[in-house]
Amino acid sequence: MSAIRVENVHKTYANGSAAVRGVDLTAEDGEFLVLVGPSGCGKTTLLRMIAGLETVSSGRIVIGDKDVTHVPPQERDLAMVFQDYALYPHMTVVDNLAFGLRLSKMPRIEREQRVARVAATLGLQELLDRRPARCQAASGSVSPWDAPSSESRRHSSWTSRSRTSMRCCVCRCAPSSRACTSG
């Protein structure tokens, strides 16, 4: 992983609405960074700019030692998971976790190792063969440790509410709990 630096980044839409004004921040290699603020303050817009899904009006975004401000999203080596997300109901938890890795043509053994690490981190090992419908519905909050760690290559960005309302992104149950029905 590499540090991510946001330097005096602004986002102004064509209608003149300023979504982000002069943000400076650095997320060091391995650092856990949380963006907090009211709805509409620019958190998601900033993450979308870092991921390359939104253009930067001015300023720059640097990952490691590379300026990626104008680099297309597919070349940034990032993944992003939104708070509201869709799961593939016909796929198991393990298949949902591995989906992005499979699309990126990651070798099977490496993909399985990554999914196993993420499942262990989230406490999902016992749930890997279940489908999302077999898990009890929860509040819809997302853990900051959810699927980006399995789908990303080096970096992840995401939006989240609070760690106290952590939920599994794959089956929306509380990780390491008995909320899921037996498979």
Tokens found for residue 42: 């620019």
Name which CATH class applies to 1-76.
alpha beta
Nearest to 48 by CA among 67, 17, 15, 73: 73
DSSP the chain: ---EEEEEEEEE-TTS-EEEEEEEEEE-TT--------TTSSHHHHHHHHHTSS--SEEEEEETTEE-TTS-GGGS-EEEE-SS----TTS-HHHHHHHHHHHTT--HHHHHHHHHHHHHHHT-GGGTTS-GGGB--------TTSTHHHH-SSEEEE--S-GGG---TTT-SPTTSS-BPP-
pLDDT in tens, the chain (183 residues): 689 999 999 999 999 999 999 999 999 988 878 888 888 899 989 999 998 989 999 999 999 999 999 999 888 877 666 655 567 888 888 998 888 888 888 999 999 998 998 888 777 888 888 887 776 443 333 333 344 444 444 444 443 333 333 344 444 444 444 444 333
The number of CA neighbours under 13 Å toward the Cβ of 66 is 10
The ranges assigned to domains in the chain are 1-76, 85-152+165-183
Cα separation, 79 vs 103, in Å, equals 13
Cα separation, 34 vs 101, in Å, equals 25
Tokens found for residue 172: 């929306």
